[in-house]
Amino acid sequence: MHHPWEQGESDMGAAGGGGSVGSVGGGAPGAARGEGPRVLRAGMVGLGMIFEETYRPFFEQVHKTPLYDRRFGVCEVPLTAVASRTGTRGARYQQTLAGKVAAFENFAGPEAVAQLLASGVDWVAIATPDDRHFEAARACLQAGRHVLIEKPSVLSLEQLDELERLARQHGVLAKVVYHKLLDPDHKRLRTFYRQQKLQHVNNGYCSLLEPKSIAQGQFAEWITGRNPGTYVAVHYIKLIDFTFGGRLERVTATGQRGLVGPVDGPTWDSCQLRLVYRYDSGREAAFDIHTSWVTPDNFPGYVEQEVQFRFDNGVWNGHSRKRGVECTIAGETPMRTKITLNNHYSAAFVEPWNEASQRGYGVEVLERFAREVAEVEFGGPADERSARLARARALDYNDLAADRQTVAAVQALEAILDAQWKGRPDGVARLNGPEGGLVLWHPGRREPDVLYSPPV
């Protein structure tokens, strides 16, 4: 795969009054402005590819220029602690980021998250492999800290319920990063749909193909038993869910094996997911999402990403590699730098005023979360904090409370593929039927597996 420092794109594209209040760093939250900068100390769990591509540039940028808003004044957002499995990357970043971000502590091993919390952070970003989000997020919320989780938030509705419950109990935010929602192309799509310029979506397809080096290099440590759909189709599940609304009714899926792992093993090379939604009009729409992580490494783009949505009165075609730039450099493309560049997600620039920067929607989505926390904590009087918290929670592009159908689709995908591995292919997951909230039916079997009983 491309080296993170080459500024490519990975799978994307182209983030009451409770326990945390007293712990927030910049003095009493909600105190009158004009008493010096507010401070929100950040902790980071997981220092892999996505940290390098988006969090690192965000913390560098906010170190240079703190957040400002007339509601909360100047707000510093220093990275003060990191936690990872081995601590090796943390130690390396302590060297390479010296002077570019504030000094930070580096914790490793099984107690790393507890130590990070004890070090006194105000919010925590979680960018561990997706089956390790839940435990870290639960520990942070139990400690009354705001949490931002990389997509997919968690892998089951029960886990989602638990995190939501803890966030409410402790009066903090629990949010998830779906940066594709901030891609200007997707914002425009949603704008047209809301304006009714594009009317009623009938069906569509999305594909996202990752290079083989992702599966065999960067992710080799945790890839066994996993599939590329959970990790990347989830971008499009969320895009569809958020953009078009509606009720998810059915989920089907299949997949192929034999390249990343043995042909009869639990690790998937590629998978195809179908979602069927129903809208208030009674009409349905179907969406197919194809993903893989076995595309040849000499592919001209970092990832292949394409969408097509068909409406009653139009068609939307989007191709993130064909936004307009192709660049060939002898000895460089397509292996070290890709031929089709995504300059929108997170790219390094020399600005026209000769300042070096790294920016794009992958970074913007993180800043936006920090602003939401700053507004909750510092955006007005303390006795109005719960109203500010409620406003931040009502933002359905990133709140965990609005992630239910997306998590249901991911949980269904994993269960359908697991059944296929065990010799029962072609399962159908149905939502909110008489048997339960998420129920997996297998062909030829009378009794379904109830994956989640309450309504989704």
Ligand X SMILES: NC(=O)c1ccc[n+]([C@@H]2O[C@H](COP(=O)([O-])OP(=O)(O)OC[C@H]3O[C@@H](n4cnc5c(N)ncnc54)[C@H](O)[C@@H]3O)[C@@H](O)[C@H]2O)c1
Please, what is the minimum distance in Å from the beta carbon of residue 227 to ligand X? 12
User: Counting contacts by CB under 6 A, is residue 151 touching ligand X?
Assistant: yes
Among 46, 57, 144, 255, binds ligand X (CB under 6 A): 46
Biggest alpha carbon–alpha carbon distance for the chain = 69
Smallest CA-to-CA distance from 256 within 269, 272, 274 is with 269
Smallest CA-to-CA distance from 348 within 4, 3, 7 is with 7
122-130, 182-190, 349-357, 373-381 -> range binding ligand X (CB under 6 A): 122-130
Please, what is the minimum distance in Å from the beta carbon of residue 51 to ligand X? 6
The dihedral region occupied by 273, where left means phi > 0, alpha psi between -120 and 50, and beta the remainder, is beta
121-129, 184-192, 258-266, 317-325 -> range binding ligand X (CB under 6 A): 121-129
Please, what is the minimum distance in Å from the beta carbon of residue 251 to ligand X? 19
Smallest CA-to-CA distance from 111 within 41, 45, 55 is with 45
As a whole number of angstroms, the distance between CA 238 and CA 252 comes to: 17
Beta bridge partners of 74: 68
Site string for ligand X, 152-181 (x = CB under 6 A): -------------------------x-x--
The dihedral region occupied by 258, where left means phi > 0, alpha psi between -120 and 50, and beta the remainder, is left
Please, what is the minimum distance in Å from the beta carbon of residue 247 to ligand X? 26
Among residues 74 and 136, whose Cβ is nearest to ligand X?
136
Please, what is the minimum distance in Å from the beta carbon of residue 136 to ligand X? 6
46-54, 91-99, 371-379, 400-408 -> range binding ligand X (CB under 6 A): 46-54
**Helical residues (DSSP H) of 126-183, grouped into ranges:** 133-142, 157-170
User: Counting contacts by CB under 6 A, is residue 413 touching ligand X?
Assistant: no
User: Counting contacts by CB under 6 A, is residue 218 touching ligand X?
Assistant: yes
138, 163 in Cβ contact below 8 A? Answer: yes
User: Counting contacts by CB under 6 A, is residue 412 touching ligand X?
Assistant: no
Beta bridge partners of 305: 208
Among residues 179 and 359, whose Cβ is nearest to ligand X?
179
Query: How many CA atoms lie within 13 Å of 337's alpha carbon, on the beta-carbon side?
Result: 16
As a whole number of angstroms, the distance between CA 85 and CA 48 comes to: 10
Among residues 307 and 389, whose Cβ is nearest to ligand X?
307
User: Counting contacts by CB under 6 A, is residue 83 touching ligand X?
Assistant: yes
Q: Report the interface residues with ligand X, using CB under 6 A.
A: 10-12, 45-51, 83-86, 89, 112, 127-130, 132, 150-151, 177, 179, 218-219, 231
